[in-house]
């Protein structure tokens, strides 16, 4: 491969990275909010959220990306391809993150909550100082796993024309008629990104264990 091909691959990797990072950041926070709302069991709203989570988790990313990108003009506005890709990834990962957070909260010991309330802590302080830190530690493996799945599923947005790492790989292969070199480089770049996530997870877990002891 020539220098131009290498530059295209690195540009595609950057596109994959920043789009995935934005989707992950929004999805983690939105998933937490949805999990808290669901724990409150508010009639109607809870049913709407259950429907959203079920549909988002069941819909393939390719279908979701196409639906968002192609339906936007019919509603009177256009979406940039990258924005449509972020929306598709965010809708998908938010649903999974909501269930990961909810599972972590449901496993929280009621005794700790009652003990905190008995010392005079308000529900908000109990949540912020006791529940949330433990839930982050408990949910961290699941959240990191979902981030990895999102990054590995992000090539789905190439179907709407986002020039991510996978789309760049296809372009180079079509021009050079040598698909193996760009594919190997793309695999290596994906492994670096996923490996960085795993490293961050282990670093966070070690730090949490030190704080716990």
**Do residues 133 and 212 touch, judged by C-beta distance below 8 A?**
no
Q: Which pLDDT score, from 0 to 100, does residue 174 have?
A: 85
Rounded to the nearest 10 degrees, what angle do helices 165-176 and 3-40 cross at? 150
List, as one string, the DSSP characters of 164-211. -HHHHHHHHHHHHS--HHHHHHHHHHHHHHHHHHHHHHHHHHHHHHHH
Containing 44, the helix (H) or strand (E) segment is: none
- CATH code of the domain containing 142: 1.10.3720.10
- Give residue 31's domain range: 3-212
Q: Which residues of the chain have pLDDT under 70?
A: 107-113, 208-213
Question: Torsion-angle region of residue 120: left (phi > 0), alpha (psi -120 to 50) or beta?
Answer: left
Domain count, the chain: 1
> Residues near 26 by Cβ (< 8 Å), separated by ≥ 6?
86, 90, 94
pLDDT, tens digit, 9 for 90 and up, residues 97-140: 999 998 888 766 666 667 777 777 777 777 777 777 778 778 88
Q: Which pLDDT score, from 0 to 100, does residue 204 have?
A: 76
Q: Which pLDDT score, from 0 to 100, does residue 120 have?
A: 73
List, as one string, the DSSP characters of 19-30. HHHHHHHHHHHH
56's tokens: 């988002």
Q: Give the Cα separation of 20 and 152 in Å (integer).
A: 10
């Amino acid at each position: 491969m020539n220098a131009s091909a290498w530059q295209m691959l690195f540009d595609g990797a950057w596109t994959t990275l920043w789009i995935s990072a934005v989707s992950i950041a929004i999805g983690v926070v939105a998933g937490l909010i949805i999990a808290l709302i669901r724990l409150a069991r508010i009639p109607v709203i809870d049913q709407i959220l259950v429907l959203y989570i079920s549909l988002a988790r069941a819909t393939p990313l390719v279908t979701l990306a196409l639906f968002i990108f192609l339906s936007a003009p019919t509603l009177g506005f256009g979406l940039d391809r990258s924005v449509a890709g972020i929306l598709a990834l965010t809708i998908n990962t938010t649903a999974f993150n909501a269930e990961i957070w909810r599972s972590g909260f449901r496993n929280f010991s009621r005794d700790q909550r009652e003990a905190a309330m008995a010392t005079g802590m308000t529900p908000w302080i109990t949540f912020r100082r006791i529940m949330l830190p433990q839930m982050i530690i408990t949910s961290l493996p699941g959240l990191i796993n979902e981030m990895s799945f999102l990054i590995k599923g992000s090539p789905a947005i190439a179907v709407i024309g986002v020039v991510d790492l996978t789309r760049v790989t296809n372009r180079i292969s079509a021009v050079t008629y040598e698909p193996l070199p760009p594919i190997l480089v793309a695999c290596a770049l994906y492994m670096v990104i996923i490996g960085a996530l795993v490293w961050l997870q282990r670093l966070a877990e070690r730090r949490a264990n030190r704080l716990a002891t």
